[in-house]
């Protein structure tokens, strides 16, 4: 099962991806994670990527795609993978398509998680994160409050609202998403693997994705 997850920040991509990895034994791949692991392992591609990162430059698409291509072939991706947060641009989507064709792999589902701006604002502004860098437990003032208000259950440090989760910051992130990434939905819309699902709670969304993928592979 190979899946691309699209959707605005706060649509719940991470949670849905996690459910699918646990249930179907597939691997979640994010560009941040694969870059970090290449750098850590000191591979040739990792060393090249580290140079860009150290200079504060964006790692070029060609390098990211090369690293991704190697990643797809690893043993833990045998049952499939979920791309979360990639591709971000139409150019990346086109290159990804070429790479997958070269590996004789196909994407079973391109899933757009739909969420209104209001829902995202409510979800993200209600999030609190443990201020202890070694803990970073995540809470939600409505759905998963800590036992003592403002105090992390796990380590007792104060919980805080992250700077990028204030209403102003979230409106800005949504505007950036609309401008940069939303055009991807138009790019994929006519692909037979494209599905658009309202992002309500993660379980039914994960069920629906699995159902549609198995229906399509029949
Ligand atoms: Zn904590």
162 in catalytic set: yes
Mean pLDDT of 119-135: 92
CA of 134 to the centre of ligand 1 (A): 8
Whether residue 105 has pLDDT greater than 90: yes
Question: In the structure, what pLDDT confidence band is assigned to residue 203 with cuts at 50, 70 and 90?
Answer: confident
User: What confidence score (pLDDT) does residue 69 get?
Assistant: 93
Whether residue 104 has pLDDT greater than 90: yes
For residues 208 and 205, give the distance between their C-alpha atoms in angstroms, rounded to a whole number.
Answer: 5
Whether residue 10 has pLDDT greater than 90: no
Mean pLDDT of 129-139: 94
As given in the structure block, the two tokens for residue 198 are: 């309202």
Q: What is the DSSP string of the chain?
A: -EEEEE--TTS-HHHHHHHHHHHH--EEE-HHHHHHHHHHHT-HHHHHHHHHHHTTPPPPHHHHHHHHHHHHTSGGGTT-EEEES---SHHHHHHHHHHHHHTT---SEEEEEE--HHHHHHHHHTEEEES-TTT--EEETTTB--SBTTB-TTT-PBEE--GGGSHHHHHHHHHHHHHHTTHHHHHHTTSTTEEEEE-S-HHHHHHHHHHHHHHHT-
CA of 22 to the centre of ligand 1 (A): 25
Dihedral angle at the C-alpha atoms of 209, 10, 78, 73, nearest 10 degrees?
A: 140
CA of 218 to the centre of ligand 1 (A): 46
User: What confidence score (pLDDT) does residue 181 get?
Assistant: 83
Q: Which of 2, 66, 123, 127 is catalytic?
A: 127
For residues 169 and 160, give the distance between their C-alpha atoms in angstroms, rounded to a whole number.
Answer: 15
Mean pLDDT of the chain: 91
13 in catalytic set: yes
CA of 138 to the centre of ligand 1 (A): 8
Whether residue 167 has pLDDT greater than 80: yes
Mean pLDDT of 153-159: 97
As given in the structure block, the two tokens for residue 159 are: 């919980």
122 in catalytic set: no
Whether residue 191 has pLDDT greater than 80: yes
Q: Which of 27, 36, 97, 162 is catalytic?
A: 162
Q: Which of 2, 13, 66, 71 is catalytic?
A: 13
User: What confidence score (pLDDT) does residue 88 get?
Assistant: 87
88 in catalytic set: yes
Q: Which domains does the chain have, with CATH numbers?
A: 2-26+79-216 (3.40.50.300)
Mean pLDDT of 124-145: 93
User: What confidence score (pLDDT) does residue 9 get?
Assistant: 86
CA of 148 to the centre of ligand 1 (A): 12
Mean pLDDT of 181-195: 91
Output the CA–CA distances (angstroms, integers) from residue 155 to 68, 131, 151, 212, in the order listed.
36, 10, 8, 41
Indicate the length of the chain as a whole number.
218
User: What confidence score (pLDDT) does residue 126 get?
Assistant: 93
CA of 162 to the centre of ligand 1 (A): 14
Tell me the pLDDT tens digit for each residue of 49-101: 999 988 988 889 999 999 999 999 999 999 999 998 889 889 999 999 999 99
For residues 142 and 98, give the distance between their C-alpha atoms in angstroms, rounded to a whole number.
Answer: 44
By percentage, how much of the chain surpasses pLDDT 90? 65
CA of 151 to the centre of ligand 1 (A): 8
């Amino acid at each position: 099962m190979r899946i691309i997850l699209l959707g605005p920040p706060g649509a719940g991509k991470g949670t849905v991806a996690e459910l699918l990895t646990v249930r179907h034994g597939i691997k979640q791949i994010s560009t941040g994670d694969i870059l970090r692991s290449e750098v850590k392992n000191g591979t040739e591609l990792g060393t090249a990527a580290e140079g860009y990162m150290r200079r504060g430059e964006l790692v070029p698409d060609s390098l990211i795609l090369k690293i991704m291509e190697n990643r797809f072939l690893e043993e833990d991706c045998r049952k499939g993978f979920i791309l979360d947060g990639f591709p971000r641009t139409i150019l990346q989507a086109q290159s990804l398509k070429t790479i997958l064709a070269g590996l004789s792999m196909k994407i079973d589902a391109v899933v757009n998680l739909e969420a209104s701006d209001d829902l995202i604002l409510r979800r993200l502004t209600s999030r609190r994160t443990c201020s202890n860098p070694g803990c970073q437990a995540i809470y939600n003032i409505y759905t998963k409050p800590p036992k003592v208000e403002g105090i992390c259950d796990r380590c007792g440090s104060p919980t805080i609202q992250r700077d990028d989760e204030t209403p102003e910051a979230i409106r800005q992130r949504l505007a950036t998403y609309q401008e940069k990434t939303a055009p991807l939905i138009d790019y994929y819309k006519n692909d037979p693997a494209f599905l658009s699902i309202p992002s309500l709670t993660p379980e039914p969304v994960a069920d629906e994705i699995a159902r549609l993928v198995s229906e399509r592979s029949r």
